[in-house]
Structures are given as C-alpha cells and as structure tokens.
A and B are shown apart, each in its own frame.
Chain A
Amino acid sequence: MIKLTIISCIALSALCLNSCTNDYLTVNSASSLLADGSYYNSKTHLTEALVASYDPLKWFDYFYSYESLPLVADLMSEDVMAGGGGETDCLYLHKISNFSALPTSVCNQTWSICYSGINRSNIVLQYINNAADMTEAEKAEYTAEATVMRAWYYTTLWKYWGNIPYFEKNLTYPYISPQIGHDAVYDKIAASLESSINANVLPMKSTAGNEGHVTQAMAEMLYADVVMYQKDATRYPTALKYMKDIIGSTKYDLVSDYASLWESTGEWCKESIFEINYTAKNGGRAWDAPIATGGSVYPKFIGINGLSGSPEFNGGWGFEPVCASAYKMFDSNDKRRDASILNFAAYSATNGATYSPRYEDTGYFMRKYLPRLDGNSGCTGSGDMNYNNNVRLYRYSETLLNAAELLLATGGSNTEAQGYLDKVRIRAGLASVTVSVDNILNERHKEFVGEGKRYWDLVRSGKAATILVAGSTTTRSANWTESKKYLPIPQGEIDAAQGTLTQNNY
C-alpha cells in the first residue's frame, strides 16, 4: 500500500515536472491558425487575403456611422442635404454639408475603413511570393489587383484628408507612420497605378462570375480620376491613353436606357466599369454584424420616410433630400432627370403615393439608390440592411467624358472630343452642344448626379468657391473656401499620434 502510494506520488510528480515545460504552456487555437507566412503560402489562402482586401469597400454605407461614398461627397456639393430627423441626427453629415466639420464630428469611419483596406492589400503584397503553387502570371495579377485596391483606398483618404500617413508595408512597433503631404501622396498613388496598369496583367473586363474584381479599365479610370483631380498636366497624356485603351477595347459601351442602369438588372451591365458589390441573397448584415457580407443599408437610409402606395419602392428614413435645383437643372426632355431624381409631387399624381416629410424635405429624392420593393429579398440578416443596390463607382460614360476633357486639355482632336460628349447626350435624348470644359462639367453634373462626382469636379475645376456658397442648398450657411478642401483629421487620430500628425487647416 505504502509502496504503491509512494510510487504513484513520485510518478505524478515526475509526470508533472516533465510536463511543466514551455511545451505544455504553448497551446494552439482551436479554430484558427497563425496568420503569417505559414498560412499565406498557397493560392487558396492568398485568394482569401485578396478577398479580404475588398471587404472594407462595402462598409462605407454603415459601420456604426453612415458614410456612404456618394452621400458624403454629394453633401459637399449643391445637390443634396443631410435630412433625416434633424440637425443632430447624424450630426457629422450635417456638419460636413455645411463646411463646418469638426475633428470630433467628421466621417471618421471612412478613415478607418480605408486603412483597413490598405492593411489587407499590404498583406497580399507581403506574402504573394510565398505562394508556391501560383504561377508568375498569377502572382503578377494578384499583385496588380492588390496594388490598385490599395491605391483606391489611398485615393479616398487623399481626396478627403489630403495629408495622411502613407505606408506600403504594414506597421510594427511603435506603429507610427509619418504623415506626408497631399502632393507626395498623389505621386505615390499615381506611380503605383502606372506600374500596375503598365504591367498589363489585369483583364480589361471581368469574366462572368468575377464582377467586382479590379480590372484594367477600373485601374485606368482610377488613374484618370486621380490625375485630373490633381490637375497634373504632365500625366494627362497617359490618362488619355488609358481612356482610349478602354474605348478601343470595345469591351464597354453605353446602354441605351439610362433608367435601366439603376435597377438590379443594370448592375454590371456593359456600361459598368466598377461597382461596390452588394447582394441581398443570403445577405447577413445585421445591427450586431454591420460589416457582414450582404446588402446595403444606404437605400433604406435615403428612402422616403413613411412611404405608402408606391408600386416600386420601399420606404426609408428620409436622409439625403435632393435640392430642387438639382432636379431643375435638367432639360425637361432629358431622360436622365426622372431616372435620377424622384419628384414626389409628380410621382404621387400618377399613383397616389404618400410620405411623411422629414428634416430639410424638398419633395425630391435620389431615385438612383432608393430601396426597391423586394430589393432585400433572400437576406438572412436585417431586412433594412440588406438591399442589393450596388454603388456605381465608374461607368463608361465617364470614360467618354474623361477622354473628351483630356483631349481638350492636351490639345487633342476637338472632333473626337465632340463625338464622346455627343454620345453621352444622345443617350440622354438631347441635342449636341459644343464641346468645352464647362459643357463637359455640366454634362458630368447631370450624368452623375447622386453618384458622388460633382463636389470633386467643382474643386478641381476651381468653381467650388463660387458655386458652393451660403444658400447653395436651402440650409447651407457657410461658404466653401480653399481650406475646406481637406476635412479635419479625426481627433482620436490626432490624440493617438502624439504629435506625429498635423491637423488640417480646415
């Protein structure tokens, strides 16, 4: 008995001393792997990393704050207002709209979302050469795709804030990246896009099933966007060349029915170059899972409050009322007018629909992105958060208008430019006007109303200070000045940076 006990005690002690090593203290996660090179070493896993780099694209509409890209940009134009329940309902939107954003009241999620995308794009680039089962061609394609995605995120940051921390390798301790000026940011974006485009490894247009991926056309549109916003004449020829690449490829064309663009059938049509992809089918977004994959809450957000009797739209929360001037700028025979903006009085006259006005109500609504009936069917999450309306970022009509503008700017063929402008006007059911920078900008205003282009056009064309003045929307009381070009950097970032971030002089 004693012997047995002693032996077992010694055995137990021995067992324990033996096991009490660092091996015993090293445990593995039950359902995850280390997220380093030991994981990102195959095509499958690099594809996962690449997918993850697109993921933040779909958060802008809601990630604990509503910062949909077209919404925020248009709020700074003369076309729309914030609306909703009142001045304090999404205060940051009202502030931005009135050029009175504060470091504590600005679209700070956009900052974080873009950097999430950058971090994830960097991971693809960091590990791409680690994938043993990928061909060099595949690696080149992934590299170009991730680089363009990163450039896209940086472009958004650059347009909003200008002077930002820029890094191409993810940060390690002490997690500080120096802030660089807006011109330096521009140079880096443009250079990375040129290298990706010139590698010529991306398809001009996605094959079926791959819609949503970066294409050569998307990269070229982004390049033109950046170069034209920077007014960098030295790169105009390259930008023009890229536009002509797209046009010459014949992979894209205008659709004949402008209104069809905004229906779900119009998504990824032949005119579409890049969209943020949302899907209602199996859409899992919910209030407790705001960044799950699925649909968008943006349609609900700008939907018509208390709507009833509409044969095609669901109601919503009444944000983003459209200014009457935006409706009235169209010729009455412009097919784009009623396809873009819903004039409720006229609408109600045809079907007896009613609604309850909210703050800054105008009676006009952004029809392009209104929630369609059944637009959220098939979702598993919250119905309100899963509308399938994709956000159109680049359309072929912009390629044509870019080309026209770049032709004028580089002293190219006027006829050619006229042809591109006419093509857009003809589709809208309008007669030709003489091609000029102003006419192109006017055309862009109408063609892209509600698509978040107008404000950037006003800034780059130097018209912002004259157009975006107090009274340019019903409730705007401040004037745009050059210092409003860059939003205030979120206060939390200034605080955390401990002196390494300089606030914009907003």
Chain B
Amino acid sequence: MRRTQAQVVIALALLVAAAAGGHAEDAAGLRPKVTALLGRFPAANGADRDALAAEILKLGPAAVTEVCGRVLPPGGGDDSAARFALNGVAVYAARSGAERDRLLAVRAILDAARKAADKDVKAFLISQVQLAGGAEAVKPLAAYLTDERLAEPAAQALLAIRAPGTEAAFLKALDAAPSPLRVTIVKALGELRGREAVRKLIPLASSSDDRLRQTALFALANIGDPAAGPVLERARLAAPLYERSGAPALYLLYARRLVESGRAAEGLAVARSILKYYSAPAESHVAANALGLVVSVLKDRALPDLLAVLDSPSAKLRGAALELAGVIPGSDASQRWVEKAAEASPAARAEIVAMLGRRGDRAALPAVREALRSPDQAVRLAAIPAAVRLGGADVLPDIYPFFSSPEAEEVAAAKEALLGFEAGRVVPEAARLIEETPPAGRAALIGVLAAKGARDRIDLVFAQAQSSEPSVRAAAIAGLAALAEEKDQARLLELLYAASDSEETANLQKAIAAAAGRNSDPERRADGLIGFMAVAPAAKRAALLRVLPRVPGIKALQAAVDATHDKDPQVQSAAVYALSQWPDFKAAGELVRIVSTTANKKFLLTALEGYVRLINGSDVPAWKKLDLLASAVSLPKDDADKKAVLRGIAECRGPAAFHMLAGFLDDKELRATAAQALLGMAADEAPEERWLSGHEAISILRRVEAQADDPAEKEQVSRMIADRLRQGGYIPFFNGRDLGGWKGLVADPPARAKMTAEEMKKAQAAADERMRAHWRVADGLLVFDGQGESLCTLKDYADFEMLVDWKIGKAGDSGIYLRGSPQVQIWDPEANPEGSGGLYNNQKNPRKPLEKADRPVGEWNTFRIIMIGERVTVYLNDRMVVDNTVLENYWERDKPIYPLGQIELQAHGNPLWFRDIYVREIPRDAAAPVLAESEKDEGFIALFDGSGLGGWTGDTEGYRAEDGRIVVHPELGGGNLYTEREYADFVLRFDFKLTPGANNGIGIRAPLEGDAAYAGMEIQVLEDGSPVYWTLQPYQYHGSVYGVVPALRGILRPVGEWNTEEITARGRRITVVVNGTRIVETDLDQASAGGTIDYRDHPGLSRERGHIGFLGHGSIVDFRNLRVKELK
C-alpha cells in the first residue's frame, strides 16, 4: 500500500516519540493508561490533581517517563495535558514526608531530560526538577552547566535546591564551561556565598569581558571575604564611566557583608571612605547609602556622623541623615539637633525643625516654638505642623496669627494644623477670629468650622455667604453644605435666588440638597422644596427644580412632572432637565412621554439623553437594556437625536450591542456614529474578549474598514482587525511585504510521496524559482500574473480555519486547495451562475455551493473556510455556501482525504489577487475525559459509559457512541435521544463540540412525545457565531431557555474546540454555565410572568420532572463526559 508523504511524516514522528519514551515494551502497556490519565488534566482542583499525580506515580517510573515523552517542543502540537500532568506530579511529589515519591519522580524526570532531543523540552523538564529536586539532582543538573541553552535553567534549579555539593559542582563547571556561560556560574557562586570560590573569582574581576567582570565583582562583594577588599576598591576607582554607579554599590555591599560576618571595624572603614568620597551633590546618594551602614553599625554612637552631614550642600544627603536620625532616640540627641539647627543654613534648619516634629520629643518644643517666629519662611512652614505635633493645644495661640499671614502657604498650614484638633478646642476661637481676619484667612477659618461640624455657628457662616469677597463666599457656601439642616432651607433659597455666578448656584443647590438629605425620612425630604415651589415665581421655580433630582422620591418626581406642564417655558425647560438627571429608573416613563410628544428639539434631546442614561444605569440584564435601547432608537425622528441612543448602546459592551450597532452602518446619517462606537468597543483596552475575534465581530469591523474615508482611519481599523485575529489564534499568513511563508508547487501529493529527499529538494528549488517569477507582492497584495503554478504554504495543516480575500478578473478561475487537494472553487460568477465556493471535485458528496454569494468580478470577496476531519464548511462573503460537507480525495479516489497537507492558492492561467490571509489551527481531540473521582464523591453519575447507548431511548439510530463521545448523525436520523430515566431537580454537566452552524438542544424535564422546546424545556445548543444565525432573537442563542430566557453571548469557544456546560435545574431556578461563565440564571415564574418573550405557549415550563435529551436539528454535534447529579 502506498503512503502519502504526510502519513510517512506522522509515522516517523511517532517512532521518534516512542524512542524518546524509553523501553518500548514498558511504554506499550502503559501508553493507554497514561493517555487516559492525561485526558483528565488539568484537574479541577488541588485535591484532584494530587489524586491524579498519585495514580501516575503508582504506575511507576515508566509512567513518569511516558508523560515526559509527551512534552513536545514549542509549536510541535498540543502537549498541555502532559505539561499539566508533569507539573502536577512535581508539586505532589514535593509535599513533605513523601521522599519515595519525590525520588521516583525526580529521577525519572532527570532521566527523561537527559534523553530528550529538544532543548526547550529539556529546559521544561529541568524547571520541574527545580520544584521537587534534592541532593540527588545536583550531579545530573551540574552536567548541563556547560550547555549554552541549558546552563541557565540548570543553575536556577541548583540555586533553588541548594543541596550540599552545589558549590563544588559550580566550581568544577567554571573550569569546563565556555566563556559566555561563566557569567551564569559566577553569578550563582556569588549567590551561594561560599568561601571556596573567592580564590577563583578574584582573577575574573579584572577580566576584559564586561559582563563577566561585573558579575565577578558582584559575586566577590556578596561573599564578603576580606581577600576581595583590594579588588573591589580598585574596581571602584578604576571603573569605566558606565560602571561608575554600580561599583560603589558593590563596594558597599561588600562592606555590609563584612559587618554581617562580624568584621564591623573593617566594614565601617569601607563605609566611611565611601561617605567621604561621594559627598558631592550629584553622587550624594552613594554617600547616603554609606551613611545608612555607618548608623547600622554604630547605632547611638553615629550621632556625630549624622550631625556633620547637615553641613552638606546636598539636600538629598541631609534628608537621608534626618531620616536616619529616628534610629537614635532620646532627649540628649534631640538637644544636639536643636543646637545643630541654630548654626545650620536656613534650608537645613527647616529640615531639622520638620524632623523634630516627626520625632515627637517634647523636649524640643521650645526651640520649635521659637522657629515659628523665624525670619525664614521655610523654617516657619516647617515649624507649624512640628509645633502642633509636639505641643498640642498649648501652641494654638501661636498658630492663630498665621491666618492673617499674606502667604497662602502659611494660611493653609495653619488650617491643616487646626483640623487635627477636636471641635471644642478650635471652633470658638476660629469663629471669634473670622471678623477680624483678612479674606484668605477668613475662608480658611470658615473651612475649619465646616470640617468640625460647627452647626451652632451657622448664622456666622450665612453672614459670610454674603461677603463681597468671592473666595470667602465660596468657602461659606461649601461650609453651608456641610452644616445646613432642613430648617435652614429658606435662608439657603434666598441665597440661591440672589446668586448670579453659575458655580455658586451649583454649590448652593448642593447645599440645599444636603440640608434636605439630613431629614431622616427619605419620603419627606422634598416636602420643603415642593412647598416653596408652590408659591415661588417662575425664575425661582426653575432654580428649585434643579435641586429636585438630588432629593429623589415619589413626591419630588411628581413635582418635576407637574412642572413640565408649567406655563412658563423656563420652568418647563428646568423640569425636563431635572427629569433627565433623575437618579433612578422611576423617571423613565415620563422621559419617554416627553420624547414622543414634545415639539421642542432641546427638550427632546435632553429627555432622550436622560432616558438612555437611566437605561444604562439600571440593573436589568444586558439583553433587556438593549431591548429598551432598540425601541428608544425609533422614538425620535431626527438622526442627530438617535446618535445619543447609539452611544448608549455602545455602553452595553458585548456581542449583542456590537451586532445592534452594526445595523446602523447602512444608515447614511448614523454610520459615522455607529462606526465610532464600534471601534471604541474593539479598541478598548480589555485585552482578550473572544467574541471580538469571532466571525461576526471581524466581519463588522471589515465593513467599518471598507466604509472609512480617511486612509489613516482605514489603517487603524485594519490594524485593529489584525490584532483581534491574532488574539483569537489566527496567524497572518501573508505579511504584505514578500513571499515569506510560501513555496512553489512540486507535482501532486502521490507523486511527491514517491520522491526521495534529494529529488524533493531539487524539485522544490526549481519550483520556488518558478514561484518567484510569477507571484509577487505589490501594494500589500499577493498578485499572480496568470502564468506558472499554484502557491503553497510552507507547512502542512490538519484541522484549521482559514480566512482569505480574493479577487479575479473577467472569466477568471482559481480555487483554494485544502491539504494539497482540489478544491474550494473560485470563478467568474457571470459565466458560472452557481457561484464560487463549492467543492468542485466532489463526486459523491455535494459539489455545488448552496447559493451564489459572489460579488461582481473585479471586487474583493472573502472566504472563511473551516476544515475539521474530512469535512469542509465554506462561508463566502458571510453566506454559508458549503455546509459541513465531506471533501473527497481527488488524487486517490478510493481513499479519504489526506489527514494533513499544504494549503494552495490555485493557478489556473489567469491573473489573481489575494490579501488578508489568516489560518487558525484547530487542535485535534485528546482522549475523552471520564468522570473524576471528586465528582463521584459529590454524587455525580455518568450518563454515558463512552461505549454504547445503554440507558438511552428514542432515536438510537441517529446518535452513535464513538471514541467516548455521543455523535449526532443527521444522515441516519438525528432526531431526539432521551434518557430512559426521568429527572426532576439536577445538575447536568457535559462537554460539547460544534460544527459550523450546528444546531441541537438539550431537552430537560421533557416528555418523550411532542416538541420538547414547548412540551418540556429546551436549553439551546447552537453555533450562534455563524452568519446563518446573526438575525436570531436573543432567546434563541446558545444556552438560552429556548423562547423564554435569553442567554449571554460571546462565551463559546471557536468552532472545532470543546466547550463545557453545566445546567442546573433546582425547582423554578435554571442556571446555565458555559466555559465557566454563567450565561443564564433565571426564575422560570418571573421569566414567564405576563407571557413568554417569544409569544408562544410553553406548557412544559410547569413540569416538575422529565427526561433529559438531545434534540436533533440536522447538524453534527459531539457530546462527551455527560454526568448528572440529582438534587434532593
């Protein structure tokens, strides 16, 4: 039997893997067991992981070896289960008191690392040894210290383990290692801090290799052996400019290590020499550092050193000394600082005074108090908080005069000082002083009264609110907001009516609302205001209305509504504004009424904006918000107003809002607003929301891109699309610059399989030459000149999803070859009315597209091609033209399509253009998971044993048990399949995998007869990312209780990948969780109160029990790992 080249490649890869796995006969028996165990990774939690790891360890070292063998080089395929498993084994084996497990695991992993061919794989294995390794790992790890790629991970592992013999191993490797690796080893020796290394490191400290020299200096400094002192000092003096700042730090590190190892005098000498040498301001941070060491050695005896530093011109160094002053407590030391302050420069004096305040030694109070009268402002400013801190209320008489200071900073400092006291201490004097203090100080004093809650001084504050000084007025009004109560409202209103400044008006409104808010009965808060409104003239009514939203309640709302009918237009306007600002949803009805009835454009926009704001701020589910917003769009007649609604829609971030906004891209007036909102959503900093790389979102962004007029904006959108696709795992395939990633075509797959490697190489070189002659890149497009052959991807693909834009000329013909085989058809739709996209070479399966979705010749078309197993789905310009159809093998008609192969852009004798080519590889299935121990303990029972349909009834022909899965076969029936048993309250968990556009459903509490969606309940199963379904209602999306409760969209994994789902039915509550996100949580009675949202009868909602089942809809869907727990 002939084999294709691809099959040979796979076979070879298996052989290599088997060889790496160790003893073939051991591995053969273990392999299925290990595979089954790996299928259960990642574990649901730590306990499960430990249980799984224990099972692996129980199988012995060969099992660990087998798992290690399944770790692949990066990019070599999905090996995450193996990596999860190995890490699980390492973590489990490293628990305390499990020496046998630990040794078994570590030895097996080390052994596998030794045998592994790929260095990235070795590095991963070493990193697992780092977690669990002990003394036994030292020698094997040390062997890697001379390997360029592995020295680093091995050194890190050795440093983490720190077993005896480590230093010797590093020293040995130091001699043998090539020069670049010595940095790694030297650094490790430095971190180990063994003395043995010093002798060998000293010569390296004068190496001409910069990195090695620097690292050796670090190592010597960190070890802190006196033998290295001269070397480190010399290095500091002789250091090249670039190393200037590093060298003293190392010298100081050395000094610190000396002190730590009991050589305090030697360490101190080094520190003092640094302190002296680096005292210039630009380098004083080094000196500050040394000063810290001096203090840590001398403790109390370091005071003279600290005092001396205060003469330094460097503020940084002085600051460091004052920070360190706290280390030496006591009044004697305080006294020395006071003396120092007297003779120091003004700047240093201010710093010392501030420090004395922080120090909290009352002995310094007289001096600090004296400093309040210093001629130097910096000193005075430092003295104010310091004096208060030391003297408390006693010094207040010294502080009050500062309120009359012409310096704003001194006033502010005085105010801050007062705020630290209780009200009784400061309020009387502050109030007394107000009259006689200049404006700046007066405003500050009013602020003190307000902050201290001096209600009994409110008359004084009212009087100041009429001051001619704006700053005083502002402070007084702010003070009133803090102090006023309901009974003060009349006086506040007088101020409000008289106010002309808009900021003052706003602050007064706040004050009035604050006063009303102090009434303990929320419903009576507005009473006072409403009473005033009844008697006030128009201008005053308008002013009062603006306060109402701040005092919400039914009465206030009614008053605002009444005012919309006021005769005075100014009052009407204020009333509409007030409603638009209402804080709760109660105003919504009125706002809608205004929007639908008013003839006043301004009222309409105000009310509409208010309504949108209320919707977005309400706590209804997202779909309900969108529902309300959708109806709000039709309220106004004017597009300018609709824009407000569009912006509101954008705030309901998610696929549904995205979809809704896209609906406005065809509206000439609203297009720009919609596009802006869409881009805002896609450009938001949220890093990865899967739906943004999905079919619908990308398709919408493409429309925005096509419509953009400004080339810069077009470019921006195009980059955004590329980013989102990348995040979704789509690899760009064509870089827009050259033919990187592509190769020329050599013969056909059967012919290629027969060629030797040498022949192949030669033929490929010739083919590449031909490719370069006829395919080229121009203006970011991939262009074919009409002669020559197809363009092929460098790599082979198994399952994948491909995006590609193409364009042809009149009578043009081309196609996309999948796995080296023809083809998804491209041709001139005028000459071929069936259109493009069909699987042209099929004989048994459909070959024509489902519909013609081509754009006219000369325009760009977009394919989205999904190939999983033998089946292919094609979307052309977002229309499904091939529905999950088997692609036949054209080259060898008696065989199924090859499992692997290159993708080709077909040359067919005419010019072609391609762009925006992306491929997302879809991982092939790992083994089906089985019911986990922890779930068994929880009470879950498997609904499906993985091999047959025992326990199931209904259409047992249309569903098959295959490889641990239940697979729907529409061609065999694919009707409904039910459990034989009935369930009432339960938790159902399962995995499912969808094909493009797939539709199925989970029936729950269903009878065996009738349409389960109505006679029972259907939890929808739908590939709702497919364009086929973009117009569905929210209650039809995946996970919804069909027709009754909408589900959150955008959670499904891309087509071809497994999803997990959990359905909980507990009494009237239904919860659906998909991939860890709760997408439905509902109470059936509430959801169906007043009729269901699909306006259909759902008698099944009242059923208390019934069968669980799959509701077939003619699509292929896979289910696995079905388990159920009954709730009592």
A and B pair up: no
A-side residues, CB < 8 A to B, are none
